[in-house]
Amino acid sequence: MKFFIDTADTKDIRELAATGLLDGVTTNPTLIAKSGRKMLDVIAEICDIVPGPVSAEAVSTDHATMLAEGRKLAAIAPNVTVKVPLTPDGLKTCKVLTDEGRQVNVTLCFSAGQAILAAKAGATFISPFVGRLDDISQDGMQLIADICQIYKQYPAFKTEVLVASIRHPVHLIAAAKLGAHVATLPGSVIRQLYQHPLTDKGLASFLADWAKTGQSILDDDKAGKSAAAE
Ligand code: E4P
């Protein structure tokens, strides 16, 4: 399963990219606004940090302007993935851009029918938003199950399921069980994945016992000398 980080905060991206676990980045207009920076600058910087796909979202709603925006965004770096909304104009734009050999992420997907349309339009990624469905008392993860099941029936569909709007580790684990190709996660959720109280407790107890030995792995001469002196 590929891990993307869902943010336009380059400090957070640098920190998590250093773990070696990041495969890509997704941004959206809200995240760009939150960064307080110029979109083209932020996307260029992110593309330098992470070699994998970096989603940059077009903001016009008509096909012609969306296509021009998509081409401009794609020209920033070879790893830009143009993000378009799941609308008739968005899918028309997706088809043209993918026919040109560019990567496209179709966003704001809330139904299996929409996901079928995106696959037929040649989308590289489809982004179903699980958290926002949960927010309105619908089962976001059921949508992931439906899309994964449908896409498996049609090997000609090359679109990857990119689970978006993930709010907590349970979402991520459920998506992984379903075989979703990609999860885009806020940095806070990636950090939560490391945590378990038994890991902390176990480590504290191992370190306390190790301290009693007086040994040092790196400075084993010193440990040897003190043992000989006794
Ligand atoms: C994905 O590409 C979106 O940017 C994101 O996952 C939306 O998440 P939210 O519903 O938490 O805003």
Query: Domains in the chain, ordered, with CATH?
Result: 2-192 (3.20.20.70), 197-229 (no CATH)
Q: Does residue 26 have its Cβ closer than 6 Å to ligand 1? A: yes
Question: Left if phi > 0, otherwise alpha if psi is -120 to 50, otherwise beta: which for 83?
Answer: beta
Which pair of structure tokens corresponds to residue 54?
């970096």
At which residue do the structure tokens 């990857």 appear?
Answer: 160
Instruction: Give nearest CA residue, ligand 1 atom 1.
Output: 164
**Choice from 2, 54, 129 to test ligand 1 binding pocket (greatest atom count within 8 A of CB):** 129
Q: What is the pLDDT of residue 94?
A: 98
Contacts of 124 by beta carbon, 8 Å cutoff, 6+ apart: 53, 81, 98, 103, 104, 105, 158, 159, 160
Q: What is the pLDDT of residue 228?
A: 52
Q: Does residue 168 have its Cβ closer than 6 Å to ligand 1? A: no
Instruction: Give nearest CA residue, ligand 1 atom 10.
Output: 165
pLDDT of 223 higher than 60: no
Q: How many CA atoms lie within 13 A of 65 on its CB side?
A: 5
pLDDT of 229 higher than 90: no
What's the mean pLDDT when you consider all of the chain?
96
38 is catalytic: no
